[in-house]
Structure 1
Amino acid sequence: MKRLKKVISVSCVLSLAMTSVAMADKKDTLQQSISGYNTNAALNFSDQYAWQLFTDLNHPADLSNCGPARHKALGDDGLTVWEVWQSREETFLDGAVRPPRWREGCNDGGFYSYPEGNYSNFDDEAVRINKKAYRFIRSKQLYSLDEQERLAQDGVTDIDFPLGSKTVKAGWVKIEEADKPFYHWVEVERDDEVIIFGLSAIHIASKDFPTWFWATFEHVDNNTRWNLTYPEAFPGWVVPSKDSAACPPSNLACNQIPEGYGLEGTKWENYRLRGTQTEIVDNRGNPTILVNSHLEGVLDQESMSCISCHALAVKGESGDSMPIPITEGTNENGLPMGHIGALNPTLFLDNNGSPIPYVGLDYVWTLRNAKRENF
């Protein structure tokens, strides 16, 4: 398959998406996009910024330094940058054991380092955490459920991740050998059988401002193939895509790729931006919606909002790691409905109307995977 080298330069696209990043050369620009933040680009050029994050985080990784491989181009085989970040499973260990230092864990081989028999990431979803977010979790002992409860008991109301924190959630589907050129893929050995998994969904959360920047991408097969093969798990794109970087204003759901990002001729040309989210409501007060039809395929897509859902990521003084349900009722098809727009304040009150003692987890649902300490 023909692959074009990605141009990482101060082009027209980068001038929009990276306006506040004054970097001296191409290598520094790539590294800054991966590890830093850009409030102006995220808010004012959201779709362009989403594609820049997509291409940079999917750049092939250098396992020796846990960063982008300078000698490789977008679309080359191997693990991507986000795949060498710490996984959810490697961060939240049994007994709330302190996870290893970043350098010890981030270059351990990504997916291929999982304990034998642990393939839940491929059957469900994978979650990866970048260096800033991981070091924050580690330094604040947020990998401990007991510590989260102690914070709530001490009256701490909100945890605040540093700007530049990022998480990636990915969805996978089993594919055939013939599908490999059109997917980012990995092979996993299970019960003496090698199974090929193709990346079908990737959701990026980047803290470029207090309520985070949200962008979600899907493989085109989710709406043209898997929705026909597995209609219950892949309901298709019920909510139209919105992409001002690739599409004209008259048709934001054109479902194309934008020019200038080096996607053409690579496996990544088969992925589409489904949308971005920066605010809980639009300028007319209408709730904003952002949904990934794979990752939220079993939910009512028209009532999905990343900001609204993740705003419910809180931890109480004790008990349930998810004290406020992320769904409320069902639609006419029996699918659970989520919260959209501004949240009802009563969600944060107990049955007597008193505030629930809790600590806000700064939109980071991954923290609910924290484990109990062994005393």
Structure 2
Amino acid sequence: MKKLLLAVSVLASGSAIAQENIYKDLQPTISGTPLNEVPAQPFAASGVVKRPFFDYFNWQNFIALMWPSKVQSHGIPYKPQDAKVFGKYTKDLQPVWLGWKSAFDLFPQNGDKPIAWEQNNGTAVCRNIKAGDTRPVLITGSKFTSVADELDQAFGGPLPDQTGLFTRYEVRMNKVEYDFVRSNGYYNKSNWPADGITLPAGNGEEVAGVIEVKAAWRDLRKVDKKFHSRFFTLENALVSIPNTCTDKPNSMIVCDCEPTTVGLVGFHIAQKTPDFPQWVWATFEQVDNLGEDASTPKDMQPSYYDPELYKKYPHVLRANPAAHPGSNRVPDATDFNPEPINVVRLSQIPDTPKPAAGEQDYSTTGMNNMYREMLKGTVWEHYQLIGSQWPQLPSISPKTPTDGDFGCEDGTEVQAGGMPFPQCQVANVTMETYHQYDSCMNCHQGAQRAGADFSWLLATRAYIEPTGELKK
């Protein structure tokens, strides 16, 4: 395992770095081999100074997750050392993470044992689709969810884009997590240890720890096809028709589905490593979400922002999300032409640490520039890292949160264990539209308190044996 701390004297602030270049080894590479631990960081440095090590770790793993993989290989990278294959997808090659299992795979109805990793679950969640259909299914529904959960963000409402179509979400996990939960029976909460689950962290080298990813997909059916190439797209992806979904207590959601073309607009990565038992967190976005990127074509409507609509709703995002049009909307049969939500970013992508004159810029914005330049010619040049988060005191037990003495700008208490950096405002505008002052670690501390080792996937979807009237 790599050592967490490297004894190097550095500045403890975000000012210009005047010492020897401690980032010289953080050079972007196109590789399908993921990193299983964050590179060693300088001793006693501030979070700002350490940020490039985590940004590098997350960018390299973003590339590894997007590496082409044969559709039936269940996430094994295809020619991981051949940079020429990166970004080239066909009907037989898809990104690695799309071969991973979903919440629907891991939590069958009635607490049954999930299928093996190598098996295909098919489209059973879509009642109107024949068995054997191989089209991707963008449905997160599982026991104890509701119809709204097919479209709603976590702790928020749905997000229509500027064409009035809803954003869709899905969550997947790697083989390490799936096999661990399946082999221990943790898909059924009655099998959980009294003190909660502890998920594997790997060894920091050849053995990976658990990884969860969450994707936000924009429905592109109303977007000019000349702009589709700026998105990683799935054609004929199956999405739920909400007013057709069952919503019965103690049962799996099943819906009628329809095919559409979707484009990836947001992507979370959460990875547990030996040095960081509170996990390392990252969030990426497609650059045209808000029209803030210089590369967005002048004639392209940003996905979630319209300056004219902003004039109508100038206070579209504030500490009170209930004031936001649509923040509490529950989709139903009468709500398929919603008014677009106009989104603004409340926290800018970090531009620190500041480089010394003439030095390479290793801030988050600087790292984005390096990676996007390297990835030119692939669809991934149109994606950027919004932020990384990690525990500054990882030696503190993950089960020991802070006492809430710290607060975010909207008054949210910071309760995440391990002293997160940054404390607040690590958010994706497509997935935390209405809660941008909060952060990954603070949100997932709730899942840790539920005994699920920071995984809401487990905390909200593990089967609970019915009691009383529910048994009847």
The TM-score, its normalising length taken from structure 2, stands at 0.55
Whether 1:218 and 2:297 are equivalent positions in the alignment is: no
Q: C-alpha separation between the residues in 1 aligned to 2:122 and 2:353?
A: 33
Q: For structure 1, which runs of at least 5 residues remain unmatched after alignment?
A: 1-11, 19-25, 316-358
Equivalent residue for 1:165? Answer: 210
1:310 maps to 2:375? no
Aligned to 1:257: 369
**In structure 2, C-alpha distance between the alignment counterparts of 1:117 and 1:128, rounded to whole Å:** 9
- Give the drift of 1:290: 1.1
Give the stretch that moved more between structures: 359-368 or 113-122: 113-122
Residue 124 in structure 1 maps to residue 124 in structure 2:
no
Within 5 Å, which residues of 2 pair with 1:256-275? Answer: 256-259=368-371, 262-275=374-387
Percent identity, aligned pairs only, is 26
CA–CA distance in 2 between the matches of 1:284 and 1:194? 40
Residue by residue over 1:337-363, the C-alpha shift from the partner in whole angstroms, topping out at 9 and shown as x without a partner, is: xxxxxxxxxxxxxxxxxxxxxx52111
1:193 deviation in Å?
Answer: 6.6
Q: Which string of whole-angstrom CA distances, capped at 9 and with x for unpartnered residues, describes residues 278-336 of structure 1?
A: 1269999972431111110122x12x111121111047xxxxxxxxxxxxxxxxxxxxx
Taking a change above 3 Å as real, the CA distance of residues 310 and 189 of structure 1, as seen in their structure-2 partners, is closer
Is the CA contact 2:56–2:367 (under 8 Å) kept in the aligned structure 1?
A: no
Task: State the one-letter code of the partner of 1:308.
Answer: N
Contact 2:100 2:173 in 1 (8 A): yes
Whose Rg is larger? 2
Distance 1:107 1:193 in 2: 15
308 and 280 in structure 1: CA distance in 2 versus 1, 3 angstrom threshold: farther
Distance in 1, Cα, partners of 2:134 & 2:444: 26
Aligned to 1:49: 57
- Asked whether the equivalents of residues 427 and 439 of structure 2 are also in contact (C-alpha less than 8 Å), the reply is yes
CA contact (8 A) 1:85 1:106 kept: no
Counterpart residue number, 1:354: none
The reply on whether 1:73 has 2:73 as its aligned counterpart is no
Query: Moved runs in structure 1, 4+ residues, more than 6 A?
Result: 106-111, 115-119, 190-193, 243-248, 280-286
Report the secondary structure of 2:304's partner residue. Answer: helix
Corresponding residue of 2:67: 59
> Does the aligned pair in 2 maintain the 1:17–1:45 contact within 8 Å?
no
Matched, 1:112 2:135: yes
Structure 2 letter corresponding to 1:74:
F
Tell me, yes or no, if structure 1 residue 291 matches structure 2 residue 403: no
2:39–2:57 contact (8 Å) kept in structure 1? no
Are the equivalent residues in 2 in contact too, given 1:202–1:218 (CA < 8 A)? yes
Letter in structure 2 aligned against 1:167: E
The CA distance in 2 between the partners of 1:110 and 1:311, in whole Å, is: 38
Match of 1:199 among 253, 259, 264: 264
Contact 1:61 1:80 in 2 (8 A): yes
Whole-Å Cα distance in 2 between the matches of residues 221 and 212 of structure 1? 29
Q: Count how many residue pairs are aligned between Structure 1 and Structure 2.
A: 303
Deviation of 1:226 (Å): 2.1
User: 1:170 corresponds to which letter in structure 2?
Assistant: A
- Structure 1 distance, partners of 2:388, 2:465, is 37
Cα RMSD over matched residues?
4.2
